[in-house]
Chains A and B, each alone.
Chain A
Amino acid sequence: MSSIPGIVAVNTFREAVRDRVLYNLIFFALLMIAAAVLVGGISIGIERDVIVNLGLTAISLFGIIMAIFIGVGLVYKEIEKRTLYSLLAKPVQRWQFLVGKFGGLLLTLVVNTLLMTVGLAIALFYVAHKFESSDATILIAIYFVLLELALITALALFFSCFSSPMLSTLYTLGIYVAGVFAPDIRDIGLFTDNPAIKTVAKCIYYVLPNFHNFNIIAAAAHKEAIPHALIWQNTAYAILYSTVALLAASAVFSGRDLK
């Protein structure tokens, strides 16, 4: 592990693991999955659907909460607490530090998601008593959730470079919600004949991070097949957009005076 981003990432992961807040979140997520089993038992015939729906929603929701709440403090905390001083006085480029923080939180999120997936698998097995090949859609859905989380983390990290955790949370949440409803924003252009508004709506659509791309929870519940192309496309999308966020973060952070 001779790369500096890797070193910073491991340390960030260690910090997350030693932070007790994380365990509460995981506990609640697993609780939700358990509740899904109960609820599923009441609605006969669609237990599997309910578990998949609720379970995936829980994994997604708690992942997003974690990504935002830890992400917005990633850089801010280090500046406030001045732990950054001694690190940057060493042969460490600022962008290496940022990429390391990103990687560390991502690693944390991956581990947590994996834990919750195991919980979901147990719940599913308990209800359906077997796994089918169509359950692969669930795994793809979870993978898409991870892509989503990576993008959210990158955005939260970007804001963390220059604004307080509270504001960063608002910005990140705002962009997330906008990204989920992006197609509707684009469709505003449908109701008008004004070409200017149509163009603006389209531009907004292409600039916003389109989080709606990643949501296939309903498809997973209905056991639909996902086109393979979509998997590569979403992966590429998440990588490209995260790169944008990290580049922007590096540009901002490398010029910033630390207090």
Chain B
Amino acid sequence: MSNVNHTRILRLALVAIPILFVLLAFLQRDIDAAAGPLQNQNPELMIQSGKMLKKMSLGYDSLLADIYWTRTVQYFGFRVGKPGETFPLLAPLLDITTTLDPQLIIAYRFGTIFLSEPDPAGAGRADLAVDLVKKGIAANPDYWRLYQDLGFLYSIRLKDYPKAAEAYLEGSKNPKAQIFMKVLAAAVALKGDDLETSRAIWGEVYNSTQDELIRRRAVQHLQAIQANLDLKRLNEVSEAYAQKFGHFPATIQDLQRAGFVRGAPKDPEGYPYVIGPAGVPQLDPQSPVVLDPDKKQAVKP
């Protein structure tokens, strides 16, 4: 090969280019750190209108929808748990995503849960969630689960039991709908703010999706309801004990010895319940179960 100049430069390139790429990777990491806060100001929302974006996407709207969906999840994940966070852009992002692809069901279901969760676990805007779900129903009238979501929002979040029952009923008319829709319609109409009803609703939410984030949240709520039910029962037992012995029990063992409970009752995470001051049963302080997941406190998603 008599092209020495070529060989020389080729060798230089083969050595230098990988080194440069390594340098570039480190530099990129630094840039991501520095520009992180800047990036999450969301330059993509320069265009706030989903309809405009849809027109501009030249037919690639479902691809763009996927991109926006990715960014929605990123947006949420990056901020969740930060105190005082209200996710102002969550609703617009979901709106854009579902305008670009009205059949992107997961977006509606995600919005149902996390738009309505009170901050800092979510945006605390159940009304926006209702709008979103109604939009989803309009575009996907056959997807009965959206009625389930609507029912969830009205009953759990907005405490509007007549509307909730209506939603569950409407959804149950779909021949593909599961029987629990009818059951919940009735239950909500009868005793909407009942814990048992809530548990049924959250249970169906858990069953209806594979999304990890939604399921985790549902589990938290289910555990809370279970714990609340357990504590309510323990309270009744404690009252009965007080009636019999004239004073409240000091420990769970007291209740055991008196034959009021069998074994050591445990909370959904496996921690045994304890008796607190004034004989009030409570959770073990070490337990990760949260009694009121809707309370404003730092939440671990």
Q: How large is the interface on B (under 10, 10 to 19, 20 to 34, 35 or more residues)?
A: 20 to 34
B24 contacts across to A, CB distance below 8 A: 206, 237, 240-241, 244
- The one of B3, B12, B21, B70 in contact with A184, judged by C-beta atoms closer than 8 angstroms, is B70
Cβ-defined contact, B46 with A53, below 8 A: yes
Cβ-based interface call for A217 (8 A): yes
Cβ-based interface call for A247 (8 A): yes
B5-38: which residues lie under 8 A (CB-CB) from chain A? 5-6, 9-10, 12-14, 16-17, 20-21, 23-25, 27-28, 30-31, 34-35, 38
Cβ-based interface call for B41 (8 A): yes
Closest to A229 in B: B34
B33 to chain A, nearest CB (A): 9
A108-150: which residues lie under 8 A (CB-CB) from chain B? none
Given A222-B41, A236-B27, A95 and B21 contact (CB-CB distance below 8 Å):
no
Cβ-based interface call for B297 (8 A): no
Cβ-based interface call for A226 (8 A): yes
Cβ-based interface call for A17 (8 A): no
| Total count of chain A residues near the partner, CB < 8 A | 43
Measured CA separation A217–B39 after assembly (Å): 11
Cβ-defined contact, A227 with B5, below 8 A: no
Cβ-defined contact, B71 with A184, below 8 A: yes
A19 to chain B, nearest CB (A): 30
Measured CA separation A187–B24 after assembly (Å): 19
Cβ-defined contact, A234 with B31, below 8 A: yes
Question: Which secondary structure dominates where chain B touches chain A?
Answer: helix
Measured CA separation A248–B21 after assembly (Å): 12
Cβ-defined contact, B3 with A255, below 8 A: yes
Cβ-based interface call for B259 (8 A): no
A183 contacts across to B, CB distance below 8 A: 39
A212-229: which residues lie under 8 A (CB-CB) from chain B? 212-213, 215-219, 221-222, 224, 226-227, 229
A243 contacts across to B, CB distance below 8 A: 16, 20
List 6 interface pairs A-B (beta carbons < 8 Å), by A numbering.
A95-B9, A187-B71, A210-B28, A229-B30, A241-B24, A244-B21
Instruction: List residues of chain B with CB under 8 Å of any chain A CB.
Output: 3, 5-6, 9-10, 12-14, 16-17, 20-21, 23-25, 27-28, 30-31, 34-35, 38-39, 41-43, 45-46, 67, 70-71, 73-74, 77
